[in-house]
Amino acid sequence: MKIAHLVPTLHPGGPEIGLVDLAGAAAEAGFEMVVIALAATSDTTLLSALRRHGVPVAELGMAPWDPRAVARTARLLREREVDVVHSHLAPADVVAAAAALRNRIPAVSTLHWVENFPADRADRLRRTAKIVARQRFVHRTIAISQVQSGWYRAVGGSERNLLVVPNGVTDPGPTDPDKRARRRAALDVGAADVLATSLAPMRRDQGHELLLDAVEELPDAVPLMIALAGEGPLRPRLEARVAATDALADRVRFVHRHQDPAELLAASDIALHTAGSAALPTALLRAMAAGRPVVATRVGGIPEIVSAATGVLVPLDAVKIADALVALAEDGERRDRLGAAARARFEADFEAVGWARRLREVYEAV
pLDDT tens-digit map of 278-289? 999 999 999 999
Residues facing residue 106 across a β-bridge: none
Confidence of residue 43 (pLDDT cuts 50, 70, 90): confident
Contact 226, 272 (CB under 8 A): yes
Average pLDDT (152-157) is 83
Confidence of residue 177 (pLDDT cuts 50, 70, 90): very high
pLDDT, residue 11, reads 82
pLDDT, residue 194, reads 98
Average pLDDT (301-306) is 96
The answer to whether residue 117 scores a pLDDT higher than 70 is no
Q: What total of structural domains would you count in the chain?
A: 2
Share of the chain above pLDDT 90, in %: 80
Cβ atoms within 10 Å, residue 132: 13
pLDDT, residue 32, reads 98
The answer to whether residue 118 scores a pLDDT higher than 60 is no
The answer to whether residue 204 scores a pLDDT higher than 80 is yes
Q: What is the DSSP string of 185-219?
A: HHTT--TT-EEEEE---SSGGG-HHHHHHHHHTS-
Contact 196, 224 (CB under 8 A): yes
Phi and psi, residue 365, nearest 5° = -65, -35
Same domain, 193 and 145: no
Same domain, 83 and 100: yes
pLDDT, residue 284, reads 97
pLDDT, residue 126, reads 67
Q: How far is CA 196 from the centre of its chain?
A: 18
For the whole model, what pTM was predicted?
A: 0.93
Same domain, 153 and 8: yes
Q: Using only C-alpha atoms, what is the Rg of the chain?
A: 21
- Residue 111 DSSP class: -
Average pLDDT (193-202) is 96
Q: Among 174-178, 193-197, 327-331, which stretch is predicted with the lowest mean pLDDT?
A: 174-178
Same domain, 160 and 220: no
pLDDT, residue 180, reads 95
Same domain, 29 and 130: yes
Same domain, 215 and 234: yes
Cβ atoms within 10 Å, residue 60: 18
pLDDT, residue 157, reads 75
Task: For residue range 121-144, list pLDDT tens digits in order.
Answer: 766 676 676 777 777 889 999 999
Same domain, 34 and 143: yes
Task: For residue range 62-80, list pLDDT tens digits in order.
Answer: 987 898 999 999 999 999 9
Same domain, 341 and 359: no
Same domain, 77 and 99: yes
pLDDT, residue 159, reads 85
pLDDT, residue 263, reads 92
pLDDT, residue 116, reads 65
Domain region containing 332: 177-349
Most distant pair of Cα atoms in the chain: their distance: 65
Average pLDDT (34-61) is 94
Same domain, 27 and 44: yes
The answer to whether residue 232 scores a pLDDT higher than 90 is no
Q: Which residues contact 59 (CB under 8 A, 6 or more apart)?
A: 10, 36, 37, 39, 40, 41, 47
The answer to whether residue 311 scores a pLDDT higher than 70 is yes
Average pLDDT (23-31) is 97
The answer to whether residue 5 scores a pLDDT higher than 90 is yes
Same domain, 260 and 310: yes
Confidence of residue 119 (pLDDT cuts 50, 70, 90): low
Contact 98, 17 (CB under 8 A): no
The answer to whether residue 328 scores a pLDDT higher than 70 is yes
Same domain, 93 and 189: no
| CATH number of the domain where residue 273 is located | 3.40.50.2000
The answer to whether residue 267 scores a pLDDT higher than 90 is yes
Share of the chain above pLDDT 70, in %: 96
pLDDT, residue 343, reads 98
